């Protein structure tokens, strides 16, 4: 299955706020398919499967993953020791495109992925053009020594104005460099979801 490239606001109306997908907000408040129908049963409850599916979809759309990519992350999280749900989120948060988004280098994870793919981002002084690259503690995330790259990232940081950088990352705006100090904590992830339901969804596969 290919990566989703359709209307983003339609997804956020259905699943709720997804910081990595878009910062825009729709003026419509109903879920997709309810418009123009005031008699629609908006109180209809989802089945248990439907609830798990929606939680899984939140991860998929927020991080811009395909179904097969997300399933591979779930399998990797299961192999590691610890709380599977937290490990899954940490794996996704340590992707290079996600780290760039968290630092304010881009306004969405999709834009951060484009920055990485176009060779603007370096890891430990080497250009890395693979968005799914897994960052590790003590890695130094920087910007390619090129005027175009520097101006682009500086403008993005200025426009995005990230309120607070999570404790597991340390950003030096003067050098446009960040250090990965540790794996993220659950409280530092702005996405509202129940990761346990995602694990339950894939436990049937």
Domain regions of the chain by residue span: 8-31+45-91+190-203, 95-182
Domain covering 95-182 assigned CATH 3.40.720.10 in the classification: no
- Asked if the domains at 8-31+45-91+190-203 and 95-182 fall in one CATH topology, the answer is no
CB neighbour class for 79 (10 Å; exposed up to 12, middle 13-18, buried from 19): exposed
Pair 49, 92: CB distance under 8 Å? no
Q: pLDDT averaged over consecutive 10-residue blocks of the chain (205 residues)? A: 60 68 60 50 71 90 91 94 93 95 91 94 95 95 93 88 83 92 89 90 81
* Per-state percent for the chain, helix, strand, coil, to nearest 5: 45, 10, 50
CB neighbour class for 29 (10 Å; exposed up to 12, middle 13-18, buried from 19): exposed
pLDDT digits (tens, 9 = 90+) for 59-114: 998 898 999 999 999 999 999 999 999 999 999 999 999 999 999 999 889 999 99
Q: Closest Cα to residue 169, out of 85, 105, 88?
A: 105
Separation of alpha carbons 162 and 152, rounded Å: 16
For domain 8-31+45-91+190-203, give its CATH number from 1.10.1050.10, 1.10.760.10, 3.40.50.720, 1.10.340.30.
1.10.1050.10
């Amino acid at each position: 299955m290919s990566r989703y490239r359709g209307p983003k606001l339609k997804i956020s109306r259905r699943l709720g706020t997804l910081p990595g997908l878009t910062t825009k907000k729709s003026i419509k408040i109903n879920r997709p398919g309810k418009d123009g129908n005031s008699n629609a049963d908006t109180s209809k409850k989802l089945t248990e499967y439907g609830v798990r599916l929606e939680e899984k979809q939140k991860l998929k759309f927020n991080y811009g993953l395909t179904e097969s990519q997300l399933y591979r992350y779930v399998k990797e999280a299961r192999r590691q020791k610890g709380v599977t749900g937290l490990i899954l989120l940490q794996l996704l948060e340590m992707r290079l495109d996600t780290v760039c988004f968290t630092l304010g280098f881009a306004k969405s994870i999709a834009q951060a992925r484009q920055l990485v793919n176009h060779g603007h981002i370096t890891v430990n002084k080497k250009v890395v053009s693979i968005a799914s690259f897994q960052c590790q503690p003590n890695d130094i995330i920087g910007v390619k020594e090129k005027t175009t790259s520097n101006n682009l990232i500086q403008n993005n940081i200025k426009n995005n104005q990230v309120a607070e950088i999570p404790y597991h990352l340390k950003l030096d705006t003067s050098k446009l460099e960040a250090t990965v100090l540790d794996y993220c904590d659950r409280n530092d992830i702005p996405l509202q979801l129940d990761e346990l339901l995602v694990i339950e969804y894939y436990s049937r596969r």
